[in-house]
Chain A
């Protein structure tokens, strides 16, 4: 099993000598271009498919195509209008309307009144706020990939981290913010770390595949969360949610309400850099990557595969837990049911799109945050269900994982890329 994967890995190592002969640019520039090209084209193709799905399931478009031969213009116009409305509202939801921004600036310059300007930049700030948990959750899955582990449990770790940080946030009173806030963040990271360490430990010691175990932990976390929200952690009242956290535990925001953009974003960027530094500039990080690339070789070189599996999964869980913590402490300030919904699969797509590199993850998370933020507007303005984003997401995952498809469609010459996940079967 591993023999085949190492051969495959060796065959797919980047070929610096020939890189300049391929692509438009020479040397490492060509490699960067190739590395960006596939994800960008994957996203574009995914959006095209999304457009087809949106138009193809719209009732008025279907009716118009029923009349196609009598009024083809109407059918095509209808299709275009539907897609334009959907993606237009997606754009407006993500970035805000440019005219509104201009008007807001004019009003501010004229009267000093910030309100119009703030409302105009509200969509952009919401998108940036949405990017924060995606960066951290994407990093979580990426760290797992770097060690050859597929952490599908990001959703459960996110939820547990959110609950832990919310608990520290609302139950401890009277602490100054520079103690309370870090403590709450740490609690979130610790909760996620434990939730990730368990499948990591099971994988390391018994060889049980982390895919199934992390998914089981997800479902266990949902039930556990339900019990906590209806029982010990329930705020007074009828609804299953926690009490609002103390002011001293909230992540400070940049703008007055209702804008929710907060320092969590900066924290996420800093953490991304720290993860990059850890993975690529420290011995421990190198060990993790070595185990990911070739566990047998790493073991032969004296590295403890068991310890690195556990370390990678713990770190991964901690990052996902931190993602949940920033969402609670920065945006919502309380935890309700289905709090972690969607972050699990999204983070997998983000990690794959970012090629498991921290900087790539930041870019991919940026895209995803803006997409998701815009999609809620698309749902309300154009009536397109949010879940179309999941379809686009899944397609993007496929296209990124099968670059041959994109290359075939767009007639791109062969590029070499590192394999991202190496399936190792079920046992040791």
Chain B
């Protein structure tokens, strides 16, 4: 009897999920071998500059030189090995597993692309975090809005309008801070409009967001054609926020020049991410917000003003998106071009979903998208055989893959998208 009990070890069925992930990982490894490993000549080296040229702030470290073929084979082997392990034994944290193999794929792509050449790695990392800024701000707007169960997809419209407001007011007043304030104000106004439409008039949240996108892009195109394009000096030439170097931290190799030599909007973003995280999870206000998002009726019976909470959250979200819009003009190029946001608002929404509606997770996801963005720019410079148009598709394809893989397992706030009627 004791032996039968011992022998009755629970046999877990071979889950289809494990099989699929394992096969995908092994397949990725093989793909690395075929695409990259076989396309390089033996003996080629790739070198990566780890100290930006001419940067005197940082402690210099020598460049990293890698043997191309060997590195790619090793990365492929790691991917295949992990996939095989997953098939045979199963690994608990599949998310980390997929992340590691994805890293192998991207790294081998990079090594293949720089075979026989040299690349400024730190510069590319810097571009990644900087380009992630508007995506992160859009994601933050999405997070705070959706945590109280209001979907806001009008981010493109808000960011475009805020960008135009920022550059125009900054040019007229010769003051970038006024431009930033104008952007925040514009974001707040558009956020208010969305909130009123959705909460007071019970318009479908996606329809309202789309209408804001249509009006935002239409109005900025209209005003740009009417005023900005004929009056560049007086209305569309603001200059950008200068880079601020943080004295001691910038000396850190690699991380220093990557993170601590950027402009105000970048630092503001990082601070806001931290603040949002603390507010959302460690303050009574954040608790009320999350309660309203999960079960508004229960929150209402406890005396929380559901409508007011949603109004405030959506308006704050609008302000965050406004700062994101300001990045495009006064934080980047110093002028407004039509439709310059180019889908970053929607990518921000994808980052929010990928980050599971958590500010820090959303920021990490934005970094990934920022990396994809900077990758396609860098690849065009490196002159690799893939046409530039396909590289331009990369951030969008990455978004779709991420959404497909993650969204089923990511749970939005329970009342997300539903209209709340106080009864």
A binding-site residues for B, Cβ under 8 Å? 1, 4-5, 8, 53, 57, 150, 152, 202, 206-209, 211-213, 215-217, 219-220, 223-224, 226-227, 230-231, 345, 348-349, 352, 385, 387-391, 393-395, 397-398, 401-402, 404-405, 419-428
Decide if B57 is an interface residue (CB 8 Å cutoff).
Answer: no
Asked if B211 contacts A394 (CB within 8 A), the reply is yes
**CB <8 Å contact, B417 and A8:** no
Q: How far is the CA of A352 from the CA of B421 in the complex (A)?
A: 24
User: Is A1 a contact of B217 with CB atoms below 8 Å?
Assistant: no
Cα distance A391–B389 when bound, in Å?
31
Most buried by B among A206, A230, A419: A206
What are 29 A-B interface contacts by the 8 Å CB criterion? A1-B414, A1-B417, A8-B419, A57-B222, A57-B227, A208-B407, A208-B408, A211-B346, A215-B346, A216-B343, A216-B346, A216-B400, A217-B400, A223-B389, A223-B390, A224-B389, A227-B390, A345-B210, A348-B210, A388-B222, A394-B218, A402-B202, A402-B208, A404-B202, A419-B204, A420-B207, A424-B417, A425-B416, A426-B417
Complex: A310 Cα to B187 Cα, angstroms:
36
Contacts of A397 in B (CB 8 A): 207, 210-211, 214
Q: Which residue of A lies closest to B222 (CB)?
A: A387
Known contacts A390-B217, A395-B215; is-contact A1 B418 (Cβ 8 Å) = yes
Q: In the complex, what's the smallest C-beta–C-beta distance from A269 to chain B, in angstroms? A: 27
Shortest distance between the CB of B417 and any CB in chain A (Å): 4
Q: Are B214 and A345 in contact (CB under 8 A)?
A: yes
**Is the contact region of chain B dominated by helix, strand, or loop, or is it mixed?**
helix
Q: Are B203 and A4 in contact (CB under 8 A)?
A: no
Given known contacts A1-B415, A223-B389, A390-B215, A402 and B225 CB-to-CB distance under 8 angstroms: no
**Cα A202 to Cα B403 with chains together (Å):** 9
CB distance from B159 to the nearest CB of A (A): 14
In whole angstroms, how far apart are the Cα atoms of A401 and B208 in the complex? 8
Q: Known interface pairs A152-B210, A219-B343, A426-B412. Does A208 touch B201 (Cβ–Cβ under 8 Å)?
A: no
In the complex, what residues of A have CB within 8 A of residue B197's CB? 398, 401-402
Given A206-B405, A206-B408, A212-B349, A349 contacting B214 (CB threshold 8 A): yes
Would you call B403 and A212 a contact (CB within 8 A)?
Answer: yes
Nearest opposing residue in chain B for A345, CB measure: B214
Stretch at the interface among B58-66, B81-89, B127-135, B391-399: B391-399
* Cβ of B164 to closest chain A Cβ, rounded Å: 13
Q: A220-B393, A387-B221 are in contact. Are A428 and B408 (CB under 8 A)?
A: yes
Asked if B250 is at the interface of the complex by the 8 Å CB criterion, the answer is no
Q: Digit string of B350-376 for contact with A (CB within 8 Å is 1, else 0)?
A: 100100000000000000000000000
B419 contacts A4, CB within 8 Å?
Answer: yes
Residues of B within 8 A of A422 (CB): 204
Measured CB to CB, the closest approach of chain A to B292, in angstroms, equals: 14
User: A208: which B residues are within 8 A, CB to CB?
Assistant: 400, 403-404, 407-408
Interchain CA distance A223-B400 in the complex, whole Å: 15
Q: Which of A5, A348, A397, A422 has the most CB of B within 10 A?
A: A397
Specify which chain B residues have a CB less than 8 angstroms from the CB of A212 in the assembled complex: 346, 349-350, 353, 399, 403
- Asked if residues B151 and A423 are in contact (CB atoms below 8 Å), the reply is yes
Cβ-defined partner of A425 (8 Å) among B226, B389, B417: B417
Decide yes or no: A224 and B226 within 8 Å by CB, A424-B417, A425-B417, A427-B411 being known contacts.
Answer: no
Is B153 part of the contact surface with A, judged by Cβ < 8 Å?
Answer: yes
Using a CB–CB cutoff of 8 Å, the interface residues on chain B facing chain A are 151, 153, 197, 201-208, 210-215, 217-219, 221-223, 225-227, 342-343, 346, 349-350, 353, 387, 389-390, 392-393, 396-397, 399-400, 403-405, 407-408, 410-412, 414-421
- Report the minimum CB–CB distance from A31 to chain B (whole Å): 21
Are B403 and A213 in contact (CB-based, < 8 A)?
yes
Extra contacts, 19 of them, besides A1-B418, A223-B390, A423-B417 (Cβ < 8 A), are: A150-B206, A208-B407, A209-B407, A216-B343, A216-B396, A217-B400, A223-B396, A345-B214, A385-B221, A385-B222, A387-B218, A388-B218, A388-B222, A402-B197, A423-B205, A423-B206, A425-B417, A427-B411, A428-B408
Residues of A within 8 A of B342 (CB): 219
Contact at A421–B207, with CB atoms within 8 Å? yes
Q: How far is the CA of A92 from the CA of B173 in the complex (A)?
A: 42
The answer to whether A398 touches B397, judged by C-beta atoms less than 8 angstroms apart, is no
A202–B406 CA distance with the chains assembled, in angstroms: 12
A1–B400 alpha-carbon span in the complex (Å): 24
Contact of A405 among B151, B201, B225 (CB under 8 A): B201
CA distance A349 to B207 in the complex (A): 10
Q: Main secondary structure on chain A at its contact with chain B?
A: helix
Across the interface, which residues of B come within 8 angstroms of A53, CB to CB?
222
Does A421 lie within 8 Å of B204, measured CB to CB? Answer: yes
A212 vs B153: C-alpha distance when bound (angstroms): 9
* C-alpha gap A301/B64 in the complex (Å): 63
Instruction: Tell whether, in the assembled complex, residue A202 and residue B411 are in contact, meaning their CB atoms are under 8 Å apart.
Output: no
- Given known pairs A1-B416, A426-B416, the reply for A402 and B214 (CB within 8 Å) is no
CB-defined contacts of A224 to chain B, threshold 8 Å: 389, 393
Measured between beta carbons, the chain A residues less than 8 angstroms from B407 are 206-209, 426-427
Residues of B within 8 A of A219 (CB): 342-343, 393, 396
A348 to B209, CA, bound (A): 12
Residues of B within 8 A of A207 (CB): 407-408
The 3 closest A-B pairs by CB, nearest first: A390-B218, A394-B215, A394-B214
Q: Nearest residue in B to A399 (C-beta to C-beta)?
A: B211
| List of B residues within 8 angstroms of A389 by Cβ | 218
CA distance A397 to B204 in the complex (A): 11
Chain B residue at minimum C-beta to C-beta distance from A404:
B201
Known: A209-B407, A390-B217, A427-B408. A398 touches B400 (CB 8 A): no
Question: Which of A215, A348, A349, A420 is B343 in contact with, Cβ under 8 Å?
Answer: A215
Whole-angstrom distance between the alpha carbons of A113 and B400 in the complex? Answer: 59
Complexed CA–CA distance, A231 and B343 (Å): 25
Given contacts A57-B227, A389-B218, A390-B217, contact A398 B208 (CB under 8 A): yes
The minimal Cβ–Cβ distance linking A199 to chain B, given in whole angstroms, is 8
Please, how many angstroms separate the alpha-carbon atoms of A206 and B406 in the complex?
A: 8
Please indicate the chain A residues that have their CB under 8 angstroms from the CB of B412 in the complex.
Answer: 425-427
Compute how far the CA of A230 lies from the CA of B387 in the bound complex, rounded to whole angstroms.
11
**Cα separation A215 to B407 with both chains bound (whole Å):** 16
Find chain A residues with CB under 8 A from B201 CB. Answer: 402, 404-405
How many whole Å from A132's CB to the nearest CB in chain B? 22
A391 touches B393 (CB 8 A): no
* Minimum CB distance partner of B350 in chain A: A212
Name the distance in Å between A40's Cβ and chain B's nearest Cβ.
18
Contact A401 B396 (CB under 8 A): no
Residues of A within 8 A of B389 (CB): 223-224, 226-227, 230
User: Complex: how many Å from CA A349 to CA B214?
Assistant: 9
Task: State the Cβ distance, A193 to closest chain B Cβ, in Å.
Answer: 18
Q: Which chain B residue shows the least CB distance to A419?
A: B204
Q: Is the CB of B404 within 8 A of A202?
A: yes
Contact A202 B400 (CB under 8 A): yes
Identity of the chain A residue whose Cβ is nearest the Cβ of B418 in the assembled complex: A4
Instruction: Closest A residue to B220 by CB, please name it.
Output: A387
Residues on B with beta carbons closer than 8 Å to the beta carbon of A394: 211-215, 218
Closest Cβ of chain A to B199, distance in Å, is 11
When chains A and B are docked, how far (Å) is the Cα of A238 from the Cα of B225?
A: 28
CB-CB under 8 A from B399, the residues of chain A are: 212, 216
Which of chain A's residues has its CB closest to B345's CB? A215
CB distance from A146 to the nearest CB of B (A): 14
